[in-house]
Chains A and B, each alone.
Chain A
Amino acid sequence: MTQFFQQLINGLSIGSVYALMAVGYSLVYSIMNFSNFAHGGVIMFGAYFGFFFLTFLRFPFPLAFISAAICSAILALIIERVAYKPLRERRAPFLYFIISAMGASIFMENLVIAIPAIGPTFRTYPEVFNKQPIKIGELAMGKLDIAMFLISAICLIILIYIIDHTKIGKAIQATSYNLKASALMGVNTDFILITVFLMGGFLAGIAGVLFGMKYTVYPQIGIITNKSFIAAVFGGLGSLPGAVIGSVLLGIIETFTAGYLSSQYRDLIAFVLLITVLVVRPMGLMGKVTEDKA
């Protein structure tokens, strides 16, 4: 029983970081209807930004954290301007967006490897939270795990508040429902897109730093961020609550697979889950049903 709760806690902690990443995919999908595969690169850069601020500039942790998030947000915006805006203006089919995103992600991953100062080596974050776990009864909770969960939860609550209760949030909702109509109603859709990419990038930066602290930083982090994309599909692409629930569930399923079956099957189960979801219920747990409009 103890093991059960222990796994549950681990699952929640990793699932909440997946959620931070997954909402980025979902936000962009809800408005632009394509899977932004460059998001993984932004998360990876976020982890490196955090590492850079903490070790080279020796920023205190909260400042390093915020700076990394801001830099990632700017990076996400640059990608939008360079790789997507020209396509958007030409009304290119969504597949071109995906290819462009793939190009951006190849570019970012290899840029990090190519810059001699960074290179392909694994980097370990300096210890921010000490390793001494907090014990409640027989359960041991790492301080880092608790911090990951809390920081992610706070960010997600703020995000959902912004979407649900502010004017710009309403505008995002309207745009995701129908871009053309909201533009006609006076919503500045270009501004909305900028906001969405900034928000997604900001969260990606936070997720990257948390991820880097939990594990290590290396250029192929994007492979792991693919799993948060799966979580977004699982929950329903384009739905924020769906992305959060899908991520937490995926985190729990993964830790349980690793704990009770074998850690070798941890990655496999994610992809099997992806295909199962697509076959059984392609719109995911909470996604909207979209019909092709001819």
Chain B
Amino acid sequence: MGNEYILGILTLAGINLMTVLGLSLLTGFTGLFSFGHAGFMAIGGYATALMTVKFHWPFIPALLAGGLAAALVSAALGKVTLNLKGDYFCIATLGFGEAIRLILDNVQTFGGARGWPGIPHYTNVWNVLGINIVAVIVLANLIRSRHGRNMIAVREEELASQIVGIDVFKYKMTSLVTSAAYAGIAGGLMGHYMTFLQPKMFSLAKSTELTIIVIFGGLGSISGSVLGALVLTSLPEILRAFSSWRLVFYGLAVIFIMISRPEGLMGGYELTPSSMKKLFRNMAAKRENKLQRAGGGK
């Protein structure tokens, strides 16, 4: 029983991680904040469930269809909102996410606000793990490519990158569409894990939670996002004994992170085998230096 419980938490963390990876690209690497990613999850979740339940598609193609649906909607949203400055893009995504939820509340085909039960249970810890590994590899390669570097340039200084010839709108769009596709797939995984979908699952609180995970892990760090998703998904489980107080601490923790360590857990650094080696080498070099200096002083 204990094993199953832990696997369940890991599955949930993996599903969260899928959205967080996409959001990390958008927020951490392109500098755009979204409070509407739960909306993309909802689109993906309902589209995937539609494919498996009504058209009897196999799971993986249905997931891809869900991701595609979310990506298409995000392209339309991006077309009209990505030119907005500052706060306004953020506000637009907030409005979008809530609008999606309220529309789903009123669509009776999918059960409306009461939800959609009876979705087959296809998601397990192994296919979530597999999809996450693929997602991380794709993301890491995207970020290291020319396109990824351009996105980082847009994040650092929009005007300057425009002047050196980067198509700012195009890269913002690429980033948004990719992250929405990730969120859509995550939504599909979630629906087939819970075997139930309800618009309430994709509220503003969910979007906020996802953004908080990205920031907690560290903006501009994939390994930070992975750690953040694992820690913050299991934290409420660990704190379950304090049940109703856990979200109070959660809110306080968010403020505390913002005012004390806004760069998050990883702060733009990556945890890879080569970076670990470098870290150890640096530590060793420092110790040697110290020893040498101590020796020189004698």
Q: Determine whether the beta carbon of B251 is less than 8 Å from that of A107.
A: yes
When distances are taken between beta carbons in the complex, the residues of chain A under 8 Å from B103 are 268
Interface assignment of B238: CB less than 8 Å from any CB of chain A: no
Interface assignment of B126: CB less than 8 Å from any CB of chain A: no
Q: Which of A102, A223, A267, A279 neighbours the largest number of chain B CB atoms within 10 Å of its CB?
A: A102
Q: Determine whether the beta carbon of A95 is less than 8 Å from that of B212.
A: no
When distances are taken between beta carbons in the complex, the residues of chain A under 8 Å from B262 are 87, 92, 96
Which residue of chain A is the closest to B158 with respect to CB atoms? Answer: A292
When distances are taken between beta carbons in the complex, the residues of chain A under 8 Å from B87 are 29, 33-35, 94, 98, 237
Q: Determine whether the beta carbon of B259 is less than 8 Å from that of A94.
A: no
Interface assignment of A110: CB less than 8 Å from any CB of chain B: yes
Interface assignment of B86: CB less than 8 Å from any CB of chain A: yes
Interface assignment of A272: CB less than 8 Å from any CB of chain B: yes
Q: Determine whether the beta carbon of A279 is less than 8 Å from that of B81.
A: yes
Interface assignment of B29: CB less than 8 Å from any CB of chain A: no
Interface assignment of A77: CB less than 8 Å from any CB of chain B: no
Which of B88, B159, B205, B255 is A104 in contact with, Cβ under 8 Å?
A: B255
When distances are taken between beta carbons in the complex, the residues of chain B under 8 Å from A105 are 251
Q: Determine whether the beta carbon of A278 is less than 8 Å from that of B247.
A: no
When distances are taken between beta carbons in the complex, the residues of chain B under 8 Å from A279 are 80-81, 92
Q: Mark out the residues of chain B between 156 and 180 whose CB falls within 8 Å of any chain A CB in the assembled complex.
A: 158-160
Binary per-residue interface labels of chain A (80-104) against chain B in the complex, 1 for a CB within 8 Å, 0 otherwise:
0011001100001011101110111
Interface assignment of A282: CB less than 8 Å from any CB of chain B: yes
Which of A102, A223, A290 is B254 in contact with, Cβ under 8 Å?
A: A102
When distances are taken between beta carbons in the complex, the residues of chain B under 8 Å from A237 are 87
Q: Determine whether the beta carbon of B95 is less than 8 Å from that of A106.
A: no
Interface assignment of B208: CB less than 8 Å from any CB of chain A: yes
When distances are taken between beta carbons in the complex, the residues of chain B under 8 Å from A82 are 255
Interface assignment of B106: CB less than 8 Å from any CB of chain A: yes
Evaluate whether A114 and B254 lie within 8 angstroms (CB atoms) in the complex, with A106-B208, A271-B95, A278-B81 already known: no
Complexed CA–CA distance, A113 and B250 (Å): 14
The range of chain B's interface size is 35 or more
Which residue of chain B is the closest to A112 with respect to CB atoms? Answer: B248
Minimum CB–CB distance for B267 against chain A, Å? 14
Give the secondary structure class of B's interface.
Answer: helix
When distances are taken between beta carbons in the complex, the residues of chain B under 8 Å from A109 are 247, 251
Q: Mark out the residues of chain B between 116 and 168 whose CB falls within 8 Å of any chain A CB in the assembled complex.
A: 158-160
Q: Determine whether the beta carbon of A83 is less than 8 Å from that of B91.
A: no
Q: Determine whether the beta carbon of A83 is less than 8 Å from that of B259.
A: yes
Binary per-residue interface labels of chain B (89-101) against chain A in the complex, 1 for a CB within 8 Å, 0 otherwise:
0111001101100
Q: Mark out the residues of chain B between 41 and 92 whose CB falls within 8 Å of any chain A CB in the assembled complex.
A: 80-81, 84-88, 90-92
Q: Determine whether the beta carbon of A100 is less than 8 Å from that of B105.
A: no
Q: Mark out the residues of chain B between 1 and 48 whose CB falls within 8 Å of any chain A CB in the assembled complex.
A: 33
Which residue of chain A is the closest to B100 with respect to CB atoms? Answer: A271
Interface assignment of A215: CB less than 8 Å from any CB of chain B: no
When distances are taken between beta carbons in the complex, the residues of chain A under 8 Å from B105 are 264, 268
Evaluate whether A278 and B215 lie within 8 angstroms (CB atoms) in the complex, with A106-B254, A265-B106 already known: no
Q: Determine whether the beta carbon of A271 is less than 8 Å from that of B102.
A: yes
When distances are taken between beta carbons in the complex, the residues of chain A under 8 Å from B215 are 99
Evaluate whether A274 and B91 lie within 8 angstroms (CB atoms) in the complex, with A106-B250, A107-B252 already known: yes
Minimum CB–CB distance for B59 against chain A, Å? 32
Q: Determine whether the beta carbon of A103 is less than 8 Å from that of B91.
A: no
When distances are taken between beta carbons in the complex, the residues of chain B under 8 Å from A99 are 211-212, 215, 254, 258
Q: Determine whether the beta carbon of B255 is less than 8 Å from that of A103.
A: yes
Which residue of chain A is the closest to B243 with respect to CB atoms? Answer: A114
Interface assignment of B292: CB less than 8 Å from any CB of chain A: no
Complexed CA–CA distance, A279 and B95 (Å): 12
Evaluate whether A271 and B251 lie within 8 angstroms (CB atoms) in the complex, with A100-B259, A102-B212 already known: no
Interface assignment of A108: CB less than 8 Å from any CB of chain B: yes
Evaluate whether A294 and B159 lie within 8 angstroms (CB atoms) in the complex, with A102-B212, A114-B244, A271-B98 already known: yes
Interface assignment of A248: CB less than 8 Å from any CB of chain B: no
Which of B248, B254, B259 is A111 in contact with, Cβ under 8 Å?
A: B248
Q: Which of A82, A99, A113, A290 neighbours the largest number of chain B CB atoms within 10 Å of its CB?
A: A99
Which residue of chain A is the closest to B162 with respect to CB atoms? Answer: A294
Q: Determine whether the beta carbon of A278 is less than 8 Å from that of B95.
A: yes
Which of B33, B80, B255 is A83 in contact with, Cβ under 8 Å?
A: B255
When distances are taken between beta carbons in the complex, the residues of chain A under 8 Å from B84 are 278, 282
When distances are taken between beta carbons in the complex, the residues of chain A under 8 Å from B85 are 282, 290, 292
Further pairs besides A106-B247, A110-B251, A278-B81: 10, Cβ < 8 Å: A34-B87, A83-B259, A87-B258, A106-B254, A110-B250, A233-B91, A267-B98, A268-B103, A275-B99, A278-B95
Q: Which B residues form the contact surface with A (CB < 8 A)?
A: 33, 80-81, 84-88, 90-92, 95-96, 98-99, 102-103, 105-106, 158-160, 204-205, 208, 211-212, 215, 244-245, 247-248, 250-255, 258-259, 262
Q: Which A residues form the contact surface with B (CB < 8 A)?
A: 29, 33-35, 82-83, 86-87, 92, 94-96, 98-100, 102-111, 113-114, 223, 226, 230, 233, 237, 264-265, 267-268, 271-272, 274-275, 278-279, 282, 290, 292, 294
A-B contact pairs, 7 of them (CB 8 A): A35-B87, A86-B259, A106-B254, A226-B204, A268-B105, A271-B98, A275-B92
